[in-house]
Amino acid sequence: MHHLAQEQYARANQIYERYFTETVHYANVIILLGYGGFFALWSAMAGKMPRGLFGTAGLLMGISLLIFLLFEIAKIAAGSWALTSAKKRGLDENEVLGYLSHSQEKVDRWWLWAFIPSLLCGLTAGGILLWAYWMAATHGPWG
């Protein structure tokens, strides 16, 4: 019975890990599509909105994207560093997983510090752009 419970736990853990990985991947794809959509509309609005608003929206969204990318790169770098370090130490599979988990936890501590500024910059930029788009659509381009 004990062996069966361990197998069920291992199977449930595999399902959870696969679900979590797929969810994170899907979320990142949606986020990157959102950035792409913003920059496509932003480019289309060139010359149709005041330069200051145009520049501010682009700068804020660029900052948001930069923060997002730096955080994602930090996660990749931390995982790579942990794997390299674990390999050099000759750790077994369970120790490697623990080492990777610990490394990921260190990076995850910074998640909120990356998420909030990225979100605020992105939402502000999106709000500026959508307001300018609405103004241009209902009142014509600024001159």
- pLDDT tens track for 3-52: 666 777 677 777 777 777 788 888 889 999 999 999 999 999 998 999 99
Contact 57, 42 (CB under 8 A): yes
- The model's confidence at residue 2, banded by pLDDT at 50, 70 and 90, is low
Out of 71-80, 86-95, 128-137, least confident range:
86-95
Q: How many CB atoms lie within 10 A of CB 51?
A: 10
58 vs 70: CA distance, rounded Å: 18
pTM: 0.78
Task: Determine the length of the chain.
Answer: 143
Three-state DSSP class for 47?
coil
pLDDT digits (tens, 9 = 90+) for 67-83: 999 999 998 898 888 88
Distances (CA, A) of 28 to 20, 55, 58, 69, 114: 12, 25, 20, 10, 14
Per the listing, tokens 């730096």 go with 70
**CA neighbor of 51 nearest in space, from 112, 137, 128, 107:** 128
What are the structural domain ranges in the chain? 2-139
Q: Which long-range contacts (CB under 8 A, 24 or more apart) does 47-50 make?
A: 47/141, 48/132, 48/136, 48/141, 48/142, 49/132, 49/135, 49/136, 49/141, 49/142, 50/132, 50/142
